[in-house]
Amino acid sequence: MLKKNGLRVKGANITVTKIERIPGTGGSVVTPGATELWTGETATGSWANDVTVDAPKFAAFAAGDKIAIYLKVDAGKDYGNIELDDQKYTKLAADGTGEGLDNYGCIQPDINCITYELGAADVALLKKNGLRVKGANITVTKIERIAGDGGSSDIPGEVELWSGNSATGNWANDVTVDAPKFANVKGGDIISIYLGVDAGKDYGNIELDDQNYTKLSADGTAAALDRYGCIQPDVTQLDYTLTSSDAALLKANGLRVKGANITISRITLTAGDGEPEPDEPAVPTNETVLWSGSVNCGQWAQTVLVAAEKWAEAKVGDKFKVNLKINAGKGKGIIKVQSAGADLEVNGKGTNMDANGNFQRGASEAVYELTEGDLAMLRQNGLTISGFAVTISQVSLLSPINSGISDVAVDENVSIEYYNLNGIRVDEPTPGIYIRRQGNKVSKVIVR
């Protein structure tokens, strides 16, 4: 009868939320490996109502499993937005990567399911804190798990060194990995630290030492650290490339990870291709702030203007930097740099962006090198920055300290200044490679 005429459920004084089929011996489930985590009908409004799934539901999850979120875009809306966090509002690494999202990380009206593949760091967060699904202009109806292949690692060649759930407090509790785990480590290998910033904290801190408290050369070099060497709340993984001296320390003494306001869940080691050649030392620079504030560009709606007179002291070869963040719920962000309505030559060619001008996930800045043509336009008309799904906080000019004069006699009475390879001044150099500046002469030196 059902195959012919369908089903009608009638009732009094009840609210029906779900109807499902439970297969008998002659049937099979619709999605192999799927386990329902939540069902209902929650309209998120404009980031107003969240859907949560508590931590015990994730006890059996493993890296490689997927979360499928069934939803619909609300009537009359051109698109919807979605964000995946744990219940302490730490954004999952999988956020913005869902199958079914468009090129801007949005949900089009014809989409009814978004599927995310989880990595080990996300699984650790979900097991600890559960899931929070945030959204705008969508109604969520079901969340389910689709089991993966059960692998212990997402990355070929990755070896787990430690796993657990260790809150560092304020530099109070360290995580250690003993030396035997590093028997085969070499320069160029990568240590990955999976972690979360503690709830209610604006940022976290981390330090990598051996177990005798000797700081590793790789400490402070993870790309996901911010400009101050801190961990922002949306960061869940830090990758460090080891030097040969680091490898020797770890083989002899093991690893100590120290921190403040973070909880560490996993440490892995991935084989590299050998220690990379050292980069050319960064030229020390002066940074001059041209504009600061907070402008949410929305969908190309708001702009940042830097007046023409701000560029009077700029030179060809100088760089300008735009500090920004990708807005919540957006997988990608874009900016345009223009003058008097015309694209600059460097538009779409800043750091931390792909060939299409889209910012890489987690990017916090874009740096552009000034050309002669661009500088002429900026001095006449100023700079206009517009964007999609980004909030801009600062624009600054970066000018090299080195004058480029190398054949002028150096006054021996002029004080000597040292800078590290990132261009940061160092008052008391420890053994290593530095940039030495005395007057107008700059050289690369080794301090032993």
The CATH 2.60.120 domain(s) of the chain lie at: 29-146, 158-270, 285-400
**118-150: pLDDT as tens digits:** 888 888 889 889 999 999 999 999 999 987 754
Query: What does pTM read for this prediction?
Result: 0.39
Residue 7 pLDDT level (bands cut at 50, 70, 90): confident
pLDDT value of residue 428: 80
Positive or negative CA dihedral for 248, 251, 252, 255?
Answer: positive
Mean pLDDT of 385-404: 83
- Tokens read off for 291: 């504009």
pLDDT value of residue 157: 61
**313-359: pLDDT as tens digits:** 999 989 999 998 887 655 568 899 999 999 999 998 988 877 666 77
Mean pLDDT of 162-178: 92
pLDDT value of residue 248: 92
- Tokens read off for 208: 């990598």
Kindly indicate whether the domain formed by 285-400 is annotated with CATH number 3.80.30.
no
Q: Is 280 left (phi over 0), alpha (psi -120 to 50) or beta?
A: beta
* Total count of residues recorded for the chain: 448
What is the β-pairing status of strands 334-339 and 342-343?
Answer: antiparallel
CB 132 within 8 A of CB 105: no
**51-70: pLDDT as tens digits:** 999 988 888 788 888 999 99
pLDDT value of residue 44: 96
**pLDDT surpasses 80 at 176:** yes
**430-445: pLDDT as tens digits:** 877 777 777 767 777 7
CA 378 to chain centre: 31
- Tokens read off for 168: 């560092």
What is the β-pairing status of strands 66-73 and 113-117?
Answer: antiparallel
pLDDT value of residue 12: 84
pLDDT value of residue 283: 62
Mean pLDDT of 415-442: 76
pLDDT value of residue 40: 93
**pLDDT surpasses 50 at 153:** no
Second CATH level (architecture) for the domain 29-146: Sandwich (2.60)
**pLDDT surpasses 80 at 112:** yes
**pLDDT surpasses 90 at 254:** yes
How far apart CA 339 and CA 348 sit, in angstroms, is 14
How far apart CA 425 and CA 315 sit, in angstroms, is 23
**pLDDT surpasses 50 at 30:** no
Residue 266 identity: R
Instruction: Name the average pLDDT for the chain.
Output: 84
Residue 251 identity: K
pLDDT value of residue 38: 93
- The fold of 158-270 is Jelly Rolls (2.60.120)
Residue 218 CB coordination number (10 Å):
19
pLDDT value of residue 420: 77
How far apart CA 85 and CA 442 sit, in angstroms, is 48
